[in-house]
């Protein structure tokens, strides 16, 4: 993946967040966090990319995403199409990873979901204050309850999943934005469609997420 392709994917998400801010229809907690994310992204030096995070990871999660491709071909939401257009050609080239400890009840979870960070402490564009990336979850998979100190913003890009935060579950279609406050326990479960969601972290972005026993 070229630095320009990675930057274009970041810019597509930034532009979407900025447009949502201008439209002024977000809940106050979401607007406040989007503003923080955009402000911190403005501080990132996009003129330098760490080449080792631009090499394809070869992660099998990409094979789970065929339905995302087909949905995009059949005409995505106009507001999301620039994001899909930026990410779909580079899915194979993204630096996918999965850093949770193995769990015996879900031996293949690390092959069926992953995330690819483009801005962050371990990413092509370096920041210790903000992360930006893409999470992919294959069909019919529970991403079990987890938490992390960072404040997390998700933008659903493709696929409607069941999202649970602080014990409340809602189905979230493409275009929805969610904010998980620091250390709130959350989980996602996909149905027939895989989930693709852009994410941002602020606050303590260096402490990894960990599973929470149900």
Least gap, CB of 186 to Fe ion (angstroms): 6
The piece of 80-88, 148-156, 167-175, 188-196 that touches Fe ion (CB under 5 A) is 148-156
The piece of 33-41, 91-99, 116-124, 149-157 that touches Fe ion (CB under 5 A) is 149-157
Compute the distance between CA of residue 120 and CA of residue 126 in angstroms, rounded to an integer: 5
- Contact between 152 and Fe ion by CB under 5 A: the answer reads yes
Q: Copy the structure tokens of residue 166.
A: 């602080």
Which CB atom, from 93 or from 162, has the smaller least distance to Fe ion?
162
Which CB atom, from 4 or from 29, has the smaller least distance to Fe ion?
29
Least gap, CB of 152 to Fe ion (angstroms): 5
What is the sign, positive or negative, of the torsion defined by CA atoms of 128, 131, 137, 142? positive
Least gap, CB of 184 to Fe ion (angstroms): 9
What is the DSSP-derived secondary structure letter of residue 101?
P
The piece of 75-83, 112-120, 135-143, 146-154 that touches Fe ion (CB under 5 A) is 146-154
Measured from each CB, the residue nearest to Fe ion is 152
* Strand residue runs (E) in the chain: 96-97, 113-120, 125-126, 130-137, 142-147, 151-158, 161-165, 168-172, 177-180, 186-189, 195-202, 210-211
Question: Tokens 């941002």 sit at which residue?
Answer: 200
> Binding residues for Fe ion, per CB under 5 A?
152
């Amino acid at each position: 993946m070229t630095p320009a392709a990675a930057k274009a994917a970041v810019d597509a998400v930034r532009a979407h967040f900025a447009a949502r801010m201008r439209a002024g229809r977000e809940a106050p907690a979401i607007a406040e966090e989007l503003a923080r994310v955009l402000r911190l992204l403005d501080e990132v030096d996009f003129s330098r990319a760490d080449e080792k995070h631009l090499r394809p990871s070869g992660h099998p999660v990409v094979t789970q995403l065929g339905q995302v491709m087909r949905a995009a071909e059949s005409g995505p939401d106009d507001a999301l199409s620039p994001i899909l257009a930026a990410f779909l050609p580079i899915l194979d080239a993204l630096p996918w990873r999965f850093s949770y400890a193995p769990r015996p009840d879900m031996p293949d979870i690390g092959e069926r979901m992953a995330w690819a960070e483009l801005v962050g402490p371990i990413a092509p564009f370096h920041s210790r204050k903000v992360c930006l990336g893409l999470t992919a979850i294959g069909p019919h998979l529970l991403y079990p309850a987890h938490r992390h100190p960072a404040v997390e913003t998700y933008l659903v890009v493709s696929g409607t999943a069941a999202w649970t935060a602080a014990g409340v579950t809602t189905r979230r279609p493409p275009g929805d934005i969610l904010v998980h406050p620091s250390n709130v326990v959350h989980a996602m479960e996909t149905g027939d469609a895989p989930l693709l969601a852009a994410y941002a972290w602020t606050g303590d972005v260096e402490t990894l997420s960990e599973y929470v026993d149900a």
